[in-house]
Structure 1
Amino acid sequence: SHREIAPLKPAEDSIIVDTSEMPLDESIRTVVNLIKEKM
């Protein structure tokens, strides 16, 4: 990030999901499945 104060950065243990090429229903399904895997 280029911000000097409080730069926006993902948490170290975050999971990055690129949904830019997915339709909404697939994005939701993907995120829900990731959550279920972590439970």
Structure 2
Amino acid sequence: MTGSSKIFERRNHYDYVYLSDLLRNMSNYISKKILMLRG
């Protein structure tokens, strides 16, 4: 029981890291697009 919950927590942590990376990349991409449109 405890082992499976540990694995679940670890997977959630990886999902969180992946989502935060995705959001960071998207915001960088959008800001670059805005700079290109302005310039």
Report the TM-score, using the length of structure 1 for normalisation.
0.43
Bigger relative contact order (CA 8 A; separation at least 6): 1
Give 1 or 2 for the bigger CA radius of gyration. Answer: 2
Q: Kindly indicate which of the two structures has a greater share of residues assigned to helix.
A: 2
